[in-house]
Amino acid sequence: MRKRPVALVAAALFAYAFLYLPLIIVVVYSFNDSRLNAEWVGFTFDWYRKLFADDDMLLAARNSLVIGLAASVGSTLLGTMAGFAMHRWKTRLLPALVLAPIAIPEILMGVSLLIFFVLLNFTLGLVSVALAHIAFCIGFVAIVVRARMAGMDESLTEAARDCGASPWQAFRHVTLPLIMPGVIAGALMAFTLSIDDFVITFFTAGAGTVTLPLQIYSMIKIAVTPEVNAVSTLLMLVTLMLIVIASRLSPSLLRSDTEPDT
Amino acid sequence: MTSTAIARSALARRGRWLVSGPPIVYLLVFFAIPTLIMVFASFRTPGDFGGLAPLVDEAGKLDLNFDSYARFFGEPIYLEVFAKSVVFALATTLVCLLLAFPLATLIAKSPRKSRDLLLLLVILPFWSNFLIRVYAWMIILGPNATFARAVNGVLGWFGAGPVPLLFSSFAVLVCLVYVHLPFMVLPLYANLEKHDPALLDAAQDLGADGWRRFWRITFPLSLPGVYAGAALVFIPAFGIFAIPDLVGGPNDTLIGNLIKQQFLETRDWPFGSVLSIVLTLAALALAALAAWFGTRATRAPALDRA
């Protein structure tokens, strides 16, 4: 193996520090006994206590949870169908429709859905946000499911069909159990994406509905307060757990090559 | 064909529609049609109280025009904002490339076992909410923070006055880079990992020093990864509005902020639609350009020799 130059290691270490120091600071100051996020004063759980007494924040968390669940159930159903169809049949329309929302700037989708809902007189709120989240999550689920199917032995389904199973039975008893880890990973990913989304939620939530990212946005727009550090720390913890579980189920999830080599 | 075979193929066709139908319909309704409506809205006149003016007015005249497009291309201030957004996105791409290259190289050269962990460490921060990541920099760059005080202390030594770090173009650029860095590292790593180390050994045997090996071999071979990463960083950075909103100064209005303004404050849908369409077309054009350069670089003679 070639010796690694010192400069390269130093530059890479700098990049890692650049990635992690800011987040570490957020976590550390969430336990700091001071209003200002400036210097370390002493250890406290006060900001977490304050967080769990903050009704606006709890409502936002509840909304995020409801939307996240609806978005992950809806997009997992539709995304699994899409991933299955994209693997089984070589169509052009479906991949284009599934991948376009991922490829275009997020703000376009947020804005066009805002126009769409308002023109239809559809009240902006939890439902409109969930419908929008399903639309952008389908693609991510479909990619994970298709990748899983690409690694599957096709002859198993054929064997089931030859033994007299209907297409549904073959899917239900052979294909589905085999792609299940991919489906669950897709569902967890959709949930995470939904909980995290800011831009599309911002445009489709209307004035009265608040989710966690919207609440964080309006809080940090006014001032920096350690309560945000506390909620950020908890949110990071939840996301981290979900991603660890999802990646155990579908190892390709955390790599850049989620696209199967076809 | 036997009758059972015919029945089976009819069943297969029905099954195909049962499976691909629902996602197609959903995405048509909640993605394709809203996008088309927005394109249509860009040719309309804004309503008196937001939204759109009636499609057909009292005089029976159809409301379709190029007014909002003329406004965008006619008034220098909008083109200026557009140009500023391009500059910010390009600067972000460039800084990300400078940071990502050593990182991706190091990971690609690491023993196979530790590669996954090192890569995971790059992706992990990306899964924390992007507002949290921006907020982290609001703390670091805030006027009371140690970092800001240290910077201003050093500047004070040279007789330069204290500069506000937060609410500046500098803060916008730092946050843009921070938020998008993983998008550059991943494709770059995927590319660098495939390089054949024998090429570098051969170059060394022929007397090429480190820089020469980098510029003549590693960099040209990595171009497909560079272009892919550039597209992944440029597109989201181009349309961003939250970062300038939170950490930018008064002059850091980007095209994303303008779009947000049109829909939530001035309520001029047609102009907002024009801005969104221009943004998307420009972003997609640049991505297509990057993809084209990427495939061309793949076919470059350097790789043929590999």
Task: For residue A133, give the chain B residue with the closest CA.
Answer: B30
Distances (CA, A) of A155 to A160, B1, B15: 9, 23, 19
Is residue B242 within 8 A of residue B257, CB to CB? The reply is: no
Query: Regarding predicted confidence, which is higher, B128 or A107?
Result: A107
- CA–CA separation, B114 and B125 (whole Å): 18
Distances (CA, A) of A243 to A61, A71, B185: 19, 17, 19
Using the Cβ of A189 and the Cβ atoms of chain B, whether some distance falls under 8 Å is answered with no
pLDDT range class, residue A252, cuts 50, 70, 90:
low
B178 CB neighbours in chain A (<8 A) are: 18-19, 22
Using the Cβ of B164 and the Cβ atoms of chain A, whether some distance falls under 8 Å is answered with no
Closest CA of chain B from A115, distance in Å = 7
Number of neighbouring beta carbons within 10 Å of residue B187: 25
- Please indicate whether, in this complex, the C-beta atoms of A254 and B120 are within 8 angstroms of each other: yes
- pLDDT, averaged in runs of 10, over chain B (306 residues): 66 78 92 93 82 76 83 89 92 92 85 81 82 89 76 75 79 91 85 80 81 80 84 88 88 89 88 92 86 72 46
Strand ranges for B147-298 from DSSP E: none
Using the Cβ of B247 and the Cβ atoms of chain A, whether some distance falls under 8 Å is answered with no
Rounded to the nearest angstrom, the gap between the alpha carbon of residue B135 and the centroid of all alpha carbons in its chain is: 20
- CA–CA separation, A58 and A63 (whole Å): 9
pLDDT range class, residue A1, cuts 50, 70, 90:
very low
B277 CB neighbours in chain A (<8 A) are: 108
Residue entry with tokens 């506000």: B164
| Residue A32 DSSP one-character state | B
- CA–CA separation, B23 and A95 (whole Å): 10
> Which tokens in the block code for residue B10?
């009819």
> Which tokens in the block code for residue B117?
């962990």
Query: Regarding predicted confidence, which is higher, A64 or B12?
Result: A64
- CA–CA separation, B226 and B83 (whole Å): 23
Using the Cβ of A79 and the Cβ atoms of chain B, whether some distance falls under 8 Å is answered with yes
Rounded to the nearest angstrom, the gap between the alpha carbon of residue A53 and the centroid of all alpha carbons in its chain is: 27
A108 CB neighbours in chain B (<8 A) are: 35, 38, 239, 276-277, 279-280
- CA–CA separation, B171 and B167 (whole Å): 6
- CA–CA separation, A148 and A183 (whole Å): 9
Query: Which of B17, B25, B31 to mutate to test binding with chain A, by most A CBs within 10 Å of its CB?
Result: B31
The per-residue pLDDT for A177 is 84
The per-residue pLDDT for A41 is 77
CA angle A192, A198, A202 (to 5 degrees): 135
- CA–CA separation, B91 and B104 (whole Å): 19
The per-residue pLDDT for B8 is 67
Task: Give the ipTM.
Answer: 0.85
- Please indicate whether, in this complex, the C-beta atoms of B31 and A255 are within 8 angstroms of each other: no
B32 CB neighbours in chain A (<8 A) are: 97
Question: Of A20, A104, A107, which has the smallest distance from its Cβ to B259's Cβ?
Answer: A107
The per-residue pLDDT for B3 is 64
In the Cβ-directed half-sphere of A149, how many Cα atoms lie within 13 Å?
24
Task: For residue A216, give the chain B residue with the closest CA.
Answer: B131
Distances (CA, A) of B198 to B39, B112, B222: 53, 17, 16
Interval A10-22: pLDDT, tens: 878 888 888 888 8
Report the DSSP beta bridge partners of residue B56.
Answer: B62
Query: Which of B129, B174, B265 to mutate to test binding with chain A, by most A CBs within 10 Å of its CB?
Result: B129
pTM score, whole prediction: 0.85
Using the Cβ of A31 and the Cβ atoms of chain B, whether some distance falls under 8 Å is answered with no
Using the Cβ of A43 and the Cβ atoms of chain B, whether some distance falls under 8 Å is answered with no
Interval A218-248: pLDDT, tens: 988 887 788 888 888 888 888 888 878 877 7
Question: Of A18, A112, A257, which has the smallest distance from its Cβ to B99's Cβ?
Answer: A18
A192 CB neighbours in chain B (<8 A) are: 127
- CA–CA separation, A110 and A202 (whole Å): 8
> Which tokens in the block code for residue B306?
């590999």
